[in-house]
Amino acid sequence: MTNFPRAGVIGNPISHSLSPKLHGHWLRRYGIAGSYEAIQVKEDALQDTLRSLPEQGFVGLNVTLPHKVAVMQLADQLTDRATLIGAANTLTFKDDGRIFADNTDGYGFLENLRQGAPGWDAKAGPALVFGAGGAARAIIVSLIEAGVPEIILTNRTRPKAEALRADFGARIRIVDWVQSGTMLSDAATVVNTTSLGMRGGQEFRVSLDGLRSSAVVTDIVYNPLRTKFLDAAAEKGCTTVDGLGMLLHQGVPGFERWFGKRPEVDDDLRRAVLA
Ligand code: ATR
* Nearest ligand 1 atom, CA 130: 14
pLDDT tens digit sequence for 148-205: 999 999 999 999 999 999 999 889 999 999 999 999 999 999 999 999 999 999 999 9
The pLDDT assigned to 170 comes to 80
Q: Residues 245, 256: contact at Cβ < 8 Å? A: no
The pLDDT assigned to 3 comes to 83
CA distances from 123 to 55, 187, 202, 203, 219 (A): 46, 11, 32, 30, 20
Mean pLDDT of 75-82: 97
* Nearest ligand 1 atom, CA 65: 2
Mean pLDDT of 12-41: 98
CA of 194 to the centre of ligand 1 (A): 5
CA of 262 to the centre of ligand 1 (A): 33
List of residues 6+ apart from 125 with CB closer than 8 A: 149, 186, 187, 188, 189
Q: Which residues are registered as beta bridge partners of 63?
A: 10
The pLDDT assigned to 38 comes to 98
Mean pLDDT of 113-127: 97
Write the residue with the smallest CA distance to atom 14 of ligand 1.
131
Q: For residues 241 and 243, what is the distance between their CA atoms, to the nearest angstrom?
A: 7
Q: Which helix (H) or strand (E) holds 8?
A: strand 6-11
DSSP 8-state assignment for residue 6: E
Q: Is 123 a catalytic residue?
A: no
* Nearest ligand 1 atom, CA 193: 4
The pLDDT assigned to 257 comes to 98
CATH class of 106-246: alpha beta
CA of 140 to the centre of ligand 1 (A): 15
Residue ranges covered by each domain of the chain: 6-104+251-274, 106-246
Does 1 score more than 60 pLDDT? no
Split at pLDDT 50, 70, 90, the class of 2 is low
Mutational pocket test of ligand 1: of 64, 195, 196, 206, the residue with most ligand atoms within 8 Å of the beta carbon: 195
CATH code, 6-104+251-274:
3.40.50.10860
Average pLDDT, the chain: 96
CB-defined site of ligand 1, < 6 Å: 131-136, 155-157, 160, 193-196, 202
CA of 155 to the centre of ligand 1 (A): 8
* Nearest ligand 1 atom, CA 195: 12
From the candidates 42, 68, 94, 228, which is the catalytic residue?
A: 68
CA of 52 to the centre of ligand 1 (A): 34
6-104+251-274 shares its CATH topology with 106-246: yes
Write the residue with the smallest CA distance to atom 22 of ligand 1.
194
Q: Which of 186, 128, 131, 196 is nearest to 163 (CA)?
A: 131
pLDDT tens digit sequence for 220-259: 999 999 999 999 999 999 999 999 999 999 999 999 999 9
